[in-house]
Amino acid sequence: DSRPRVVPLDAHDVTFGRAEASTVVLDDAYVSDHHARVYLVDSGWCVTDLGSTNGTFLNQVKVTSPTPIAAGDQLGIGKTVVQVRR
């Protein structure tokens, strides 16, 4: 299903991956079972890669450590693009 999905960021972690235990399960061969995590810190939301094979990208730059995200950012998770919105 290629239709956009809305995933609200509440006060909990959101995980992306192919594993059924992920908050957002992605049917994408380039996505690892446990690929990326978006989570809340005091200063806002951050993304981190969970040791994925193909990496996680923020605005086309590889995420190598916990990185702040903001509205308008794009996360690249495998071939899937996640748009961060308010």
Question: Model confidence over 31-47: pLDDT tens digits?
Answer: 999 999 999 999 899 99
CATH dotted code for 14-83: 2.60.200.20
Q: What is the mean pLDDT of residues 19-42?
A: 96
Contact 59, 73 (CB under 8 A): yes
- Higher per-residue confidence, 84 vs 5: 84
Rounded mean pLDDT of the chain?
A: 92
The type of residue at 74 is: Q
Global pTM reads 0.90
Domain ranges of the chain: 14-83
Q: Give yes or no for residue 6 having a pLDDT over 80.
A: no
How far apart are alpha carbons 49 and 3 in whole angstroms? 24
Q: Give yes or no for residue 19 having a pLDDT over 80.
A: yes
